[in-house]
């Protein structure tokens, strides 16, 4: 089934008195609590099943994707991009290595390898750090049940050579289990609605394994190991990603009911390493240019280690009080060659560019005021220490002294939130106020050799301070379900990126901004066979310092969905309407992209069908962009000149796309 309203079936809402309307195929995520949404990434979906985390999130109201080709798009939530959005995999923060943002955190995540995706809107939690929104890719099954299915295998095929296989298999016994997940995905260059090829081919693979030991009913010890690799062609830049290698490891120990008041102690340590190569010759025909007269390559890498400990306390005065500490250490290095045939980058020495350390302490809990009201809140303190390891700036052939070489900075930051929730007879509402103080990320401090307005380095850019008001209402009845979320935020020292002039690095400066917006969703079951739904998402941002619109904001988006069920078949359709966007700030943006033109609105139609062949077998198939329109998302990046491909102002989306998905439950 297709739907624009997010709902899934795997979990029930907390303290709900009316069951949500049953759905099979989804495009969004249903409310888990008043502020949280959850999605089952293994469920059939429309549009074409996603191959990475960003591709998956774009279907959820409030999310957009900054597109640059066929893969590795950067997710945006309510106009907040980059490190303003926290991405975690099994509670580990995920970070990319590319200084040009070829590999956002979601590029290393295959959604179908997880049990659920949980989204927390706004700065309404402090457990995962200061953020404008939190996305958690979670594995929640920590035991083996011989009476249940040991896993699932799926195959995807589609237009433009799309081929993908996924497997998630678990085996074990009462005292432990072994879970193995793997994926392999390929795609060729796709064509837009005019039949023009877009430089967008990719190849991806990943293997993750989790070993669990359960010495007793209250203890779980988990060892998780992962590795992956990829290459991707991009239509928006002069280089492609010829190598994306990732290795990760995590050890986690969860102990429950240690004392009557200590409900759980969750301890975790983790390690991650990303090795990345970008070049202008591996995945495209090399054509000399004034900027790159020779085959060139860059090989950055990032090493990360960290850990966290969270104690969950239970008492008559409060419920689920979490007290915790976390830490992260990361080092970024780089090496490059401006003439790969003469001086290969492999023969160069890696040089550190930045070292960042973070220590955090937090407390978050809830207090039941009455049968229907509860108060939630949290406090967080973070200490950030960063070192600019670069001795020189500029091109290797013309190095310039770095004015902040080997300088260090030490910042203490504070975040908090408080939220009042009400639940009664199928109704929920909430109102919350949050504060998030965010340390500038690597791309704002170091990446691309950015400048501050008055110094040839942006290393001392001020932290970003957000204050946000969140409100929402959710109503469930037998045949009707609807909800609406609204927010208003004010950001002091918003970190703005401006285009550098005359091929100079970009400028990083701090401005005051405000934004407001909403997500609204409604579902109505006309008959036992027919269901219709709709969603709306809108964000309005303003740069108060410059007196102009805030750059890189998504336009108004509407979705209308409907489905019809007949025995083991479900037929559905999705009509997506996106308004034009004339509120732009040319030359301004974020670490991923910038505004360079106003964009026209567009509409696309998609259809799909789902057939439950047998209890273990499911087939889904569909057509995206049914009318074969030529269009580009407002947040897509500018098209680049690639030999053999027509250059366009923006990266166009695929034309009419046929797809097929087969799921087998073991």
Pairwise CA distance, residues 616 & 436, whole Å? 46
pLDDT value of residue 291: 80
Residue 19 has pLDDT above 50, yes or no: no
pLDDT value of residue 502: 64
Least confident interval from 96-105, 433-442, 521-530? 96-105
250 neighbors 90 (Cβ within 8 angstroms): yes
Average pLDDT over residues 283-295: 90
Tokens of 376: 């939630």
| Residue, of 570 and 13, whose pLDDT is higher | 570
Average pLDDT over residues 1-16: 31
Percent of the chain with pLDDT over 90: 76
HSE on the CB side for 638, CA within 13 Å? 13
**Residue 97 phi, psi dihedral angles, 5° rounding:** -115, -20
**Residue 496 phi, psi dihedral angles, 5° rounding:** -105, 140
**Residue 179 phi, psi dihedral angles, 5° rounding:** -120, 130
DSSP 506: P
507: confidence class by pLDDT, cuts 50, 70, 90? very high
Partners of residue 138 on adjacent β-strands: 116
33: confidence class by pLDDT, cuts 50, 70, 90? low
Partners of residue 541 on adjacent β-strands: 515
What three-state secondary structure class fits 549?
strand
Q: Is the peptide bond between 47 and the residue preceding it cis, with omega within 30 degrees of 0?
A: yes
**Residue 157 phi, psi dihedral angles, 5° rounding:** -135, 145
Strand residue runs (E) in 448-599: 464-476, 480-498, 507-525, 530-543, 548-549, 557-566, 569-578, 588-589
Partners of residue 312 on adjacent β-strands: 264, 322
Tokens of 628: 């074969």
Pairwise CA distance, residues 152 & 643, whole Å? 42
**Residue 347 phi, psi dihedral angles, 5° rounding:** -95, 0
Average pLDDT over residues 141-153: 85
Average pLDDT over residues 259-285: 95
pLDDT value of residue 14: 35
pLDDT value of residue 17: 33
CA dihedral (46, 51, 55, 57) positive or negative: positive
Pairwise CA distance, residues 469 & 431, whole Å? 7
Please tell me the total number of residues recorded for the chain in this structure: 666
pLDDT value of residue 456: 85
- Number of other residues whose CB lies within 10 A of the CB of residue 254: 17
Tokens of 289: 């240019």
Pairwise CA distance, residues 391 & 252, whole Å? 39
Distances (CA, A) of 459 to 46, 347, 406, 561, 642: 43, 29, 11, 47, 33
Pairwise CA distance, residues 337 & 339, whole Å? 5
Pairwise CA distance, residues 144 & 443, whole Å? 42
Pairwise CA distance, residues 60 & 67, whole Å? 16
Residue 42 has pLDDT above 90, yes or no: no
H or E element, residue 444: helix 442-445
Q: Is 437 exposed, middle or buried (0-12, 13-18, 19+ CB in 10 A)?
A: buried
Tokens of 461: 């850019």
Pairwise CA distance, residues 587 & 581, whole Å? 15
pLDDT value of residue 454: 85
Average pLDDT, rounded, for the chain = 90
Pairwise CA distance, residues 371 & 366, whole Å? 13
Q: What are the domain boundaries of the chain? A: 30-665
**Residue 345 phi, psi dihedral angles, 5° rounding:** -65, -25
Taking only the tens place, the pLDDT of each residue in 445-502 is 988 788 888 888 999 999 999 999 999 999 999 899 999 999 999 999 999 999 877 6
Name the CATH topology of 30-665.
Maltoporin; Chain A (2.40.170)
Average pLDDT over residues 359-376: 94
32: confidence class by pLDDT, cuts 50, 70, 90? low
Residue 66 has pLDDT above 60, yes or no: yes
Taking only the tens place, the pLDDT of each residue in 602-630 is 999 999 999 999 999 999 999 999 999 99
Residue the block writes with tokens 């409310």: 31
Least confident interval from 2-11, 136-145, 330-339, 407-416? 2-11
Residue 569 has pLDDT above 60, yes or no: yes
Pairwise CA distance, residues 138 & 135, whole Å? 9
157: confidence class by pLDDT, cuts 50, 70, 90? very high
Least confident interval from 62-76, 195-209, 446-460, 551-565? 446-460
Tokens of 247: 């290795």
503: confidence class by pLDDT, cuts 50, 70, 90? low
Radius of gyration, CA atoms only, the chain: 24
* Highest mean pLDDT, choosing among 26-40, 306-320, 650-664: 650-664
Pairwise CA distance, residues 139 & 128, whole Å? 17
């Amino acid at each position: 089934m297709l739907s624009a309203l997010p709902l899934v079936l795997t979990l029930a809402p907390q303290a709900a008195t009316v069951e949500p309307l049953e759905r099979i195929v989804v495009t969004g995520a249903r409310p888990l609590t008043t502020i949280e949404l959850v999605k089952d990434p293994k469920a059939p979906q429309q549009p074409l099943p996603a191959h990475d985390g960003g591709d998956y999130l774009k279907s959820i109201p409030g999310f957009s994707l900054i597109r640059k080709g066929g893969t590795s798009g950067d997710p945006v939530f309510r106009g907040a991009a980059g490190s303003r959005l926290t991405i975690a995999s099994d509670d580990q923060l995920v970070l990319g290595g590319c200084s040009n943002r070829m590999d956002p955190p979601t590029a290393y995540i295959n959604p179908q390898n997880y049990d659920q995706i949980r989204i927390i809107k706004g700065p309404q939690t402090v457990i995962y750090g200061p953020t404008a929104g939190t996305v958690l890719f979670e594995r929640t099954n920590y035991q083996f049940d011989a009476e249940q299915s040991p896993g699932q295998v799926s195959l995807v095929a589609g237009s433009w050579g799309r081929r993908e296989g996924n497997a998630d298999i678990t085996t074990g016994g009462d005292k432990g289990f072994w879970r193995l997940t793997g994926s392999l995905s390929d795609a060729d260059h796709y064509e837009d609605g005019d039949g023009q090829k877009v430089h967008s081919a990719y190849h991806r693979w990943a293997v993750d394994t989790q070993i669990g030991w359960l010495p007793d009913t209250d203890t779980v010890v988990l060892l998780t190991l992962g590795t992956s690799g990829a290459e991707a062609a991009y239509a928006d830049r002069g280089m492609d990603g010829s190598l994306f290698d990732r290795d990760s490891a995590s050890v986690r120990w969860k102990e429950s009911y240690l004392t009557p008041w200590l409900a759980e102690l969750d301890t975790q340590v983790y390690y991650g390493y990303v090795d990345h190569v970008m070049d202008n010759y591996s995945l495209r025909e090399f054509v000399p240019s004034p900027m790159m007269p020779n085959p060139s390559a860059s090989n950055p890498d990032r090493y990360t280690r960290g850990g966290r400990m969270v104690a969950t306390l239970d008492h008559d005065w409060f419920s689920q009080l979490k007290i915790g500490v976390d830490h992260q250490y990361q080092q970024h290095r780089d090496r490059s060659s401006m003439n790969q045939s003469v001086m290969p980058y492999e023969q160069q020495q890696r040089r550190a560019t930045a070292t960042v350390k973070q220590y955090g302490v937090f407390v978050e809990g809830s207090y039941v005021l009455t049968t229907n009201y509860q108060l939630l809140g949290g406090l967080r303190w973070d200490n950030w220490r960063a070192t600019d390891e670069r001795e020189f700036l500029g091109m290797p052939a013309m190095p310039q002294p770095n004015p902040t070489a080997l300088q260090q900075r030490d910042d203490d930051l504070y975040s908090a939130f408080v939220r009042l929730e009400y639940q009664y007879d199928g109704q929920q509402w909430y109102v919350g106020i949050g504060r998030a103080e965010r340390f500038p990320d690597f791309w704002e401090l170091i990446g691309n050799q950015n400048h501050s307005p008055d110094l040839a380095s942006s290393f001392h850019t001020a932290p970003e301070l957000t204050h946000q008001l969140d409100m929402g209402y959710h109503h469930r009845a037998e045949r009707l379900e609807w909800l609406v979320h609204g927010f208003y935020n004010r950001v002091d020292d918003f970190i703005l990126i401006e285009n550098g002039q005359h091929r100079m690095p970009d400028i990083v400066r701090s401005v005051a901004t405000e934004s407001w917006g909403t997500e609204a969703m409604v579902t109505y079951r006309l008959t036992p066979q027919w269901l219709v739904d709709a969603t709306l998402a809108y964000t309005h941002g303003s740069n108060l310092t410059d007196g102009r619109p805030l750059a890189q904001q998504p336009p108004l988006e509407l979705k209308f969905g409907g489905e019809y069920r007949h025995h083991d078949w479900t037929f559905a359709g999705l009509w997506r309407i996106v308004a034009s966007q004339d509120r732009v700030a040319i030359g301004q943006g974020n670490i991923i992209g910038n505004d360079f033109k106003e964009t026209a609105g567009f509409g696309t139609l998609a259809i799909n069908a789902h057939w439950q062949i047998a209890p273990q077998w499911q087939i889904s198939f569909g057509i995206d962009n049914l009318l074969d329109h030529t269009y580009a998302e407002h947040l897509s990046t500018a098209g680049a000149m690639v030999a053999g491909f027509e250059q366009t102002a923006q990266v166009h989306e695929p034309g009419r796309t046929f797809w097929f998905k087969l799921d087998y439950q073991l």
